[in-house]
Structure 1
Amino acid sequence: MEERTTCLIAGGGPAGMVLGLLLARAGVEVTVLEKHADFLRDFRGDTVHPSTLQLLDELGLGEKFGKLPQSRLDTVSLPGPPALTIADFRKLKVAHPYVAMVPQWDLLDLLADAGRAEPAFHLRMNTEVVSLIREAGRVAGVRYRTADGTTGEIRAEVTIGCDGRWSVVRQDAGLRPREFPVPVDTWWFRLPRYDHDEARLTPSMHHGHFAVVIPRDGYFQVAYLAAKGLDAQLRADGVAAFRNRIRTVLPQLADRVDAITAMDDVKHLDVRLNLVPRWHSAGVLCIGDAAHAMSPVGGFGINLAVQDAVATARLLAGPLRRGRVSGRDLARVQRRRVVPTMLVQAIQRAMHRVVIRPVIEGRRNGPPRALVAMMNAVPAARFVPAYLAGVGLLPEHAPDWARR
């Protein structure tokens, strides 16, 4: 039996779920394929910034989101001396002047529940896209495989790759990203969090080490940054040596590093920063990390992906309802979103070069002195990074037909 849908979305991450929900509310038949059985993956992007919180309000999901377990961060600071506040979200004139730290699986479950309330929304878990179908010179759908080995095909007017930095859709469509050099990889792990611990996002730099402590409900999620390509050496050195690295960079948490019982507790992220020059081909479009993998620096990735999804829904809902999406329609999405993406990537590359690389190479124990002096002398300067991280250059809002 031949299966058909109007829009096929590969990947049930933030971009895929937001896009699926919005298109379904526009009356577009949409099918989202997610290769995993659930959304429970640890150490994913968990920062929900003010622009995304505003979007959830517009979609009628703000109240439900507010009931999820979360930590709220209104500043990002570096410990001293002298202490430095990098971004102050309280200065933003927005409905939610903070970053919500929420496990991504809770956010995705919320979006999935909202999608299931729409007759045009179809979510299929345990279903992995393995290749694209081509007919008459354009992409006409996908081939998929389920967890039990069943294979099948779904035809679609347009296929949208929201399947992340290792996107199958992007690769099979022949859309090759331009890679930018990245000096670091990231190692994620958990440490206990006690009642007296502050709920504050804390970067720490010391003697060639860099780490970021992210408060979560009941524990700290820690990102340790070190030179790219170091994973094999860290694992060969063993867990005791790794604990010593963490004691050096996070002395305030030295009393709990024994919670890292083995290197299997430490998850390696191969950090990528890239941009696909052309996000689309006939019948296919990539957005989010599939079009532009982001560094974890600044936590921009999830929010850029969500804004890509909102713009895509707004620009393609009409053509999809009419039953024909042209290359010009797909190009409009890239034109709308490429400049904000390039700006954020330029900021991340500058932070890699000016802040992170000198620290991990042992040339400096903190941010540049000139930056510290300027930020402390002109507190209003904290508004700029807060705005860029929290709102963005071109924030997207839910179309009227998607609001509740």
Structure 2
Amino acid sequence: MEADVCVVGGGPAGLVLGLLLARDGVSVVVCEKHDDFLRDFRGDTVHPSTLDLLADLGLEKEFDQLPARTVTRLSVDLPDGAWPLADLSRLSNRHPYLAMVPQWDLLEMLATHAAQYPTFTLLRSTEVTDVIRENGVVTGVRTAEHGDIRARLTVAADGRHSTVRRALNLRSRDFGSPMDVAWFRLPRRDSDGEGLTAHYGAGRILITIDRGDYWQIAYVLPKDGYEQLVATGLPAFRASIADLVPALGDRVDTITDWEQVKILTVKVDRLERWHVPGALLIGDAAHAMSPIGGVGINLAVQDAVAAARILRDPLRERRLSSTVLAEVQRRRTFPTVGTQLFQRAAQSAVVRPLLAGNRPVTAPFPLRLLRRFPALQVLPARMVGIGLRPERLNRAP
């Protein structure tokens, strides 16, 4: 099998890149190792800038048919009360809110739309095992199911545990993280609140995400703390949830087995070089993000939009070069570095001391400032919802 581009990974970045390139007549094969998109840790938050992109692609009506919840305000629940953090309704773009949509539905919509282009192929149940290299140039990938797939460009969009990244043995900077995340669900009732809220107590952080008929819960742990959590037992775990969010206390008994609790190992890193001759890495494959702010998916999609715009003409005109690949990295380095700096600062100034649990939990000065001057809530809203360098279709690089 041959194509102009082989994209490894059928997540948001991989499918958006494949769709945009196929839309412009570039032949693309997307390899997704699973037969469906149902995964743990699929981030279900669709940000305003991504909603604008879907509208630009003519997918707004299809997206509106998906089961969705909208969130306009983010808040922090502390022992001394609830504190506003971000007000997305103050944003000036077309979609001033977060849409909470099951990511598997979003990915199926993107795959269905991309399939209308004759130059697009999605290979499900296709696991990439290695890259093909000839004279120092990546010329495709090897798969267990379809043999070799040859391509003028291989793009790794296969996440923080990227097979392509490992095969290329690229150097990265690991910035570390003080936390991991336990991920589980609890039933939600119509009488409950809505939206996304962070709850803090002594040594504990819990985030509730409104998914309609259930709460998606992110229970933040100290790094490598999952074994200790399990050792304390399920009754103690359930009690800690009820203590932190009393409103959930009448349903924590629905957690009956540790199989219901999945662990997300958090890491923050960035490749020094996102490309080699014949290959490019984007999204978490190039820069693993912390879950703080939920911006990783948004950043990966913006990588894909920028890459599609920069690569389109060189691919069509058969003048792809390392200089072109480097331009993608140059374009996306500023928002990546800036976002990681923000996340690392939040980890050090907020997450680490909260998990240490050695001082009273009170609202820090920035939260007090945001409550006193509500207009300032647009600043964190822009950081979370739009990012530092939003990409739009057909914008000159």
TM-score range, shorter chain: over 0.9
Aligned: 1:313 with 2:311: no
Aligned to 1:20: 18
**Percent of counterpart pairs with the same letter?**
50
Q: Give the 3-state SS of the residue equivalent to 1:224 in structure 2.
A: strand
TM-score (norm 1): 0.95
Asked whether the equivalents of residues 162 and 290 of structure 1 are also in contact (C-alpha less than 8 Å), the reply is: yes
Q: C-alpha separation between the residues in 1 aligned to 2:176 and 2:41?
A: 23
Aligned to 1:132: 131
TM-score (norm 2): 0.97
Aligned: 1:56 with 2:51: no
Q: C-alpha separation between the residues in 1 aligned to 2:367 and 2:155?
A: 43
Q: C-alpha separation between the residues in 2 aligned to 1:366 and 1:340?
A: 31
Q: Give the 3-state SS of the residue equivalent to 2:7 in structure 1.
A: strand
Aligned to 2:63: 65
User: Which residues of structure 2 form unaligned runs of 5+?
Assistant: none
Q: C-alpha separation between the residues in 1 aligned to 2:332 and 2:274?
A: 10
Q: Give the 3-state SS of the residue equivalent to 1:255 in structure 2.
A: coil
Aligned: 1:386 with 2:381: yes
Aligned to 1:302: 297
* CA drift at 1:367: 5.7
Asked whether the equivalents of residues 214 and 221 of structure 1 are also in contact (C-alpha less than 8 Å), the reply is: yes
Q: C-alpha separation between the residues in 2 aligned to 1:398 and 1:363?
A: 48
Question: How has the CA–CA distance of structure 1 residues 96 and 364 changed in structure 2, closer, same or farther, with 3 Å as cutoff?
Answer: farther
AA at the equivalent of 2:42: R
Aligned to 1:274: 269
Aligned to 1:155: 150
Aligned to 1:32: 30
Asked whether the equivalents of residues 178 and 352 of structure 2 are also in contact (C-alpha less than 8 Å), the reply is: yes
Question: How has the CA–CA distance of structure 1 residues 366 and 98 changed in structure 2, closer, same or farther, with 3 Å as cutoff?
Answer: farther
Q: C-alpha separation between the residues in 2 aligned to 1:373 and 1:324?
A: 54
Aligned to 2:98: 99
Q: How does 1:161-310 map to 2 (within 5 A)?
A: 161-310=156-305
Deviation larger for 389-398 or 374-383 = 374-383
Deviation larger for 194-203 or 223-232 = 194-203
* CA drift at 1:365: 5.1
* CA drift at 1:217: 2.5
| Of 349, 353, 367, the match for 1:354 | 349
AA at the equivalent of 1:187: A
Deviation larger for 367-376 or 12-21 = 367-376
Q: Give the 3-state SS of the residue equivalent to 1:175 in structure 2.
A: coil
* CA drift at 1:79: 2.5
* CA drift at 1:29: 0.2
* CA drift at 1:364: 4.0
Aligned to 1:343: 338
Asked whether the equivalents of residues 41 and 264 of structure 2 are also in contact (C-alpha less than 8 Å), the reply is: no
| Of 77, 80, 86, the match for 1:79 | 77
Deviation larger for 221-230 or 376-385 = 376-385
1:205-263 residue CA offsets vs partner (Å, 9 max, x unmatched): 01211010000031000000010111112223222121122122222211111111111
The runs of at least 4 aligned residues of structure 1 exceeding 6 Å deviation read none
* CA drift at 1:160: 0.2
Aligned: 1:123 with 2:118: no
Asked whether the equivalents of residues 3 and 27 of structure 2 are also in contact (C-alpha less than 8 Å), the reply is: yes
Asked whether the equivalents of residues 208 and 365 of structure 1 are also in contact (C-alpha less than 8 Å), the reply is: no
* Number of equivalent positions: 395
Asked whether the equivalents of residues 205 and 365 of structure 1 are also in contact (C-alpha less than 8 Å), the reply is: no
Deviation larger for 41-50 or 158-167 = 41-50
Asked whether the equivalents of residues 355 and 367 of structure 1 are also in contact (C-alpha less than 8 Å), the reply is: no
* CA drift at 1:141: 0.3
Q: Give the 3-state SS of the residue equivalent to 2:127 in structure 1.
A: strand
AA at the equivalent of 1:290: A
* CA drift at 1:366: 3.9
User: Which residues of structure 1 form unaligned runs of 5+?
Assistant: none
Aligned to 2:365: 370
